[in-house]
Amino acid sequence: MKIVLADSHARPLTKSEVAQLLARPNILRLAYLDERGGPVVHPVWYYYSRGKFFAATDIDSAKAGALRKNSNVYFLVDESQKGGPTRGIRGRGTARVVDDPAYATRVTRRNVKRYLGSLTSKAAKTVLEMGQDSCVLEITPSYIGTWKF
């Protein structure tokens, strides 16, 4: 995957900084076109592994339906830590919708642990129950643009 500088006024992130950013539970903003061709941006929980982002969504959701018809996406993950620089990544890619409830449950479990810290809280159990009615979004970037100020 190609990593480029996203903003000529910024400094690039190193590969190590990209890995650190993606290892933290920041929200991925996923942009795509809805079924009528209008732009939509959704925040999603994700994890990044082997050059792809993995998220789960309701199998019958408008998001999954739109991505089945048009897999082109744009994504953004950024953060501004207290006292630290604003930094992030963004880029284009393709989303593959995988309709496999067992796989979606595994992705959901991993993301619940990542974002909530455990699988046992009431909120965690509620989200985990949704996994069985979900599909997986596998987002493969064609490039990642980085920046830090």
pLDDT tens by residue, 57-98 = 999 999 999 999 999 999 999 999 787 779 999 999 999 999
pTM over 0.85: yes
Look up the CATH number of domain 2-148: 2.30.110.10
CB 73 within 8 A of CB 31: yes
Tokens of 69: 């018809």
Q: What is the pLDDT of residue 2?
A: 82
Residue keyed to tokens 């990544």: 89
Question: Which residue type occupies 107?
Answer: V
Domain residue extents for the chain: 2-148
Q: pLDDT (tens digit, 9 = 90+) per residue, 47-56?
A: 999 999 999 9
Residues 6+ apart with CB under 8 A from 47: 53, 54, 107, 110, 111, 114
CA distance 30 to 77: 9
CB 89 within 8 A of CB 79: no
